[in-house]
Each structure stands twice: as structure tokens, then as C-alpha cells.
């Protein structure tokens, strides 16, 4: 069985064909970074237009790379949210068009669910597992009980962790996205120079907060001479603080599972920030302390991609969780509710504009 996945919820236009035996036959990503970098962040209108411009080329390349034709695929999965709605509509509508034209099932994929299950493409991870979903748009911890059953145990009260990386990078005058740049610069700095706060790291709190840390970084930078060494030291101290926060939150989440009597053997990190080496390392060490295993997808499956969307399609198809063609794309789509939204959404009544 082959499933085509289409992703367009943020600043990557992506298409991928994955086989049910987990072979990724193609994984095409067109990144819009250069369209947005001058603005220091993503401009939704530019993103939507760029998706529209590239989607057909990207999907065609996914077929040619996989050496398959449209007649070979068994289903099409498209991200239907959460995300920047203009872009989501482009990808979801394209996926629906293929579904109608080829008369194959359509699967409306929740982008967060796709990140959450992405680790199962490369590893045979059994449910339940403890997931740290750390990306540009999301920051939460949850217990993944099944393909479509998630128990959120911690969430951010303000920024996501990826946003914190990106905003610090912007402050320092680096480009967008900033996570990888900060990670690279951090090895050049003095880790002891600044003592940044670790918000909400007490009483085993499971929730995240990054705004206080962000403000502290801003003040430190403004009070410095703004030399390259100052920037490197800020990167080093910010990276060390964020790594320590992740260790604290993972530890609190493990304790929470133990208190609830939920037996989890595996900690999984997913989303763009799961590509961060110090964070991967600290979670690896923590897991060993608890005699658990730590798994994160390979770097190219951590950041946004369509292979995870196609894989989510395969996971849902196996459970017969397909969708009606009138499934509404949505800017916000909490993970907990994606489980129940696999059936037809009743369309609003058609309003007659002209008589
Ligand atoms: O999952 P993703 O590609 O998009 C969302 O769904 O949000 O995550 C993008 C985020 C950005 O904030 C980017 O700065 C961050 O992931 N990121 C990293 C690294 N690579 C990407 N953050 C820290 N270290 C990295 N190596
Ligand atoms: Zn993402």
C-alpha cells in the first residue's frame, strides 16, 4: 500500500510517498525560508501564495522520485491543521482534489499527531510512550496511548520552545529559523557568563513557559556591548538553560507517569527542536538514569516534512479512520480532539447571497 502525504501548514511545501512497510519512497520539501527571512519570521500571506505556486511541482516530484504514478497510490493524506490557514487550505484542497480524481480515500491529518507518530516510521515504538513535542508551533508533553489517543500532561503557557529559539536568534540579528544557528554558536560561548531563569521549574510542574527567559536574554543583550563574543555567550547560556528546562520537564513527566501507574518504557522527542543535539543528549542521559529508552526521529523527520503526514495516513488507514471530502481545514486543532474528528463534519448551511 502506498500513501501520498501533503504538508503545507507552515513554511514548507512538502510531498512524500510512503509504503506501508515504512519505506519512504520520496520526501520532497520546498522550504520558503528565503521568502520569509527578510522579515525575521513567517508572513502568512506570503506563505499561502508560495504554497500555491509550488504545490503542483512538489507533488509531481514526489511521484517521479518514487518512480510511481498517480494510479499507484492507495490513499492521500493532507495536513488539515493546525497551522497558517491559507497554507493549510492549499495543501488540503490539493489532497482532496487527488482523492476525488483518483477515487481513493482521503485522510485529514492533524500536523501535531503526525509529529507525535513520526518516530514510528523509523523505530518500532510500542504504545504507550511519553512524548515531548517540541517545535516552532507547539510545546507540550503527552502520553501517546494509541494512534489517535493522546493524554496531554503539560503545555506551554506562552511561547513554544522553537519560538523562544527563533526570537532569541532574531534579537541577536541572526536569520530565521534560529534554532540551529543558536545551537551552532553556543559551542563558541562561555556557558558560565549569564545565569538565565528557568521558568516553572519547581514543584514538578509539567507546564512550560519561556517568556521570562526571553526577557532575561533581551536585557542581557541590551546591557552588553553587542560584540560577537557577547552573542556567543548568550547563545551558550540560552542553550544550556533550555536544555536544563527540558531535562526538568522530562523528569517531571516521568515522575507523573509513575504516580499514575502508567508504565512507559520510552521517551520520544519530536518536532523541529528535537533536532537539537544538547537536548537529545540530555534526554538520552535522563532516560538511561530511569532505565528507559530515548528515541527521536532522524533530524530530517524532526522538522516539518510530508513523510510523517503520509505515515500518519497509513496509521489511520489501518484503523479505517478516513475522512469525508468536506472535512474543514482549521487553524487550531488540539491534539486531544483529533481522535474524535475522523468522521464527517456537518457543513454549515449554504447562505444564498443573490436571489
Ligand atoms: O517542527 P518544525 O519544523 O515546525 C513546526 O511545526 O513548528 O519546527 C521548527 C522549529 C523552529 O523554531 C526552529 O528554530 C526549530 O524548530 N529548530 C531547532 C533546531 N532545528 C530546528 N531548534 C533548536 N535546535 C535545532 N537544531
Ligand atoms: Zn511541525
Residues 213-260: tens digit of each pLDDT: 999 999 999 999 999 999 999 999 999 999 999 999 999 999 999 999
Nearest-atom index, ligand 1, CA of 137: 7
For ligand 1, residues with CB inside 6 Å are 10, 135-137, 162, 165-166, 177-180, 183, 271-273, 275-276, 303-304
**Selection from 322, 340, 306 nearest residue 111 by Cα:** 306
CA of 218 to the centre of ligand 2 (A): 26
17 preceded by a cis bond (ω within 30 of 0):
no
Which pLDDT score, from 0 to 100, does residue 339 have? 59
CA of 13 to the centre of ligand 1 (A): 16
Burial grade of 212 (CB within 10 A; 0-12, 13-18, 19 or more) = middle
Please compute the mean of the pLDDT values over residues 88-92 and round it to a whole number.
98
Of 12, 42, 131, 177, which is best to mutate to test ligand 1, by the most ligand atoms within 8 angstroms of its C-beta?
177
What is the distance between the alpha carbons of residues 5 and 28, in angstroms, rounded to a whole number? Answer: 10
**Selection from 169, 108, 172 nearest residue 337 by Cα:** 108
Please, which residues bridge with residue 4 across strands? 17, 76
CA of 352 to the centre of ligand 2 (A): 38
Q: What is the pTM of this model?
A: 0.92
Give residue 350's pLDDT band: very low, low, confident or very high (50, 70, 90): very low
Residues 38-82: tens digit of each pLDDT: 787 789 999 999 999 999 999 999 999 999 999 999 999 999 999
Amino acid at each position: 500500500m502506498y500513501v501520498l502525504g501533503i504538508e503545507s501548514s507552515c513554511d514548507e511545501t512538502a510531498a512524500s510517498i510512503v509504503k506501508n512497510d515504512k519505506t519512504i519512497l520520496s520526501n520532497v520539501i520546498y522550504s520558503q525560508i528565503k521568502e520569509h527571512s527578510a522579515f525575521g519570521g513567517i508572513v502568512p500571506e506570503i506563505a499561502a501564495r508560495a504554497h500555491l505556486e509550488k504545490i503542483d511541482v512538489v507533488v509531481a516530484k514526489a511521484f517521479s522520485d518514487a518512480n510511481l504514478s498517480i494510479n499507484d497510490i492507495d490513499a492521500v493524506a493532507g495536513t488539515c491543521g493546525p497551522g497558517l490557514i491559507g497554507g493549510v487550505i492549499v495543501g488540503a484542497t490539493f489532497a482532496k482534489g487527488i482523492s476525488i480524481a483518483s477515487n481513493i480515500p482521503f485522510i485529514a491529518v492533524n500536523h501535531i499527531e503526525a509529529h507525535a507518530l513520526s518516530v514510528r516510521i523509523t523505530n518500532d515504538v510500542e504504545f504507550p510512550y511519553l512524548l515531548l513535542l517540541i517545535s516552532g508551533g507547539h510545546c507540550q508533553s503527552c502520553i501517546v496511548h494509541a494512534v489517535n489517543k493522546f493524554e496531554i500532561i503539560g503545555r506551554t503557557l506562552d511561547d513554544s520552545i522553537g519560538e523562544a529559539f527563533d526570537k532569541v536568534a532574531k534579537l541577536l540579528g541572526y536569520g530565521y529559523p534560529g534554532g540551529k544557528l543558536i545551537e551552532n554558536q553556543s559551542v563558541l560561548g562561555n556557558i558560565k557568563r549569564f545565569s538565565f531563569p528557568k521558568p516553572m521549574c519547581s514543584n514538578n510542574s509539567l507546564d512550560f513557559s519561556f517568556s521570562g527567559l526571553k526577557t532575561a536574554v533581551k536585557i542581557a543583550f541590551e546591557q552588553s556591548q553587542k560584540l560577537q563574543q557577547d552573542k556567543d555567550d548568550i547563545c551558550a547560556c540560552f542553550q544550556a538553560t533550555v536544555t536544563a528546562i527540558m531535562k526538568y520537564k522530562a523528569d517531571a513527566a516521568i515522575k507523573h507517569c509513575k504516580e499514575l501507574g502508567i508504565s512507559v518504557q520510552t521517551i520520544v522527542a519530536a518536532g523541529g527542536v528535537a533536532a537539537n543535539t544538547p537536548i537529545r543528549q540530555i534526554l538520552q542521559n535522563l532516560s538511561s538514569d530511569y532505565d528507559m529508552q530515548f528515541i527521536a526521529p532522524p533530524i530530517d523527520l524532526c522538522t516539518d516534512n510530508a513523510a510523517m503526514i503520509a505515515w500518519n495516513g497509513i496509521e489511520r488507514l489501518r484503523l479505517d479512520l478516513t475522512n469525508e471530502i468536506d472535512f474543514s481545514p482549521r487553524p487550531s486543532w488540539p491534539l486531544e480532539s483529533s481522535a474524535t474528528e475522523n468522521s464527517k463534519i456537518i457543513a454549515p448551511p449554504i447562505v444564498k447571497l443573490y436571489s
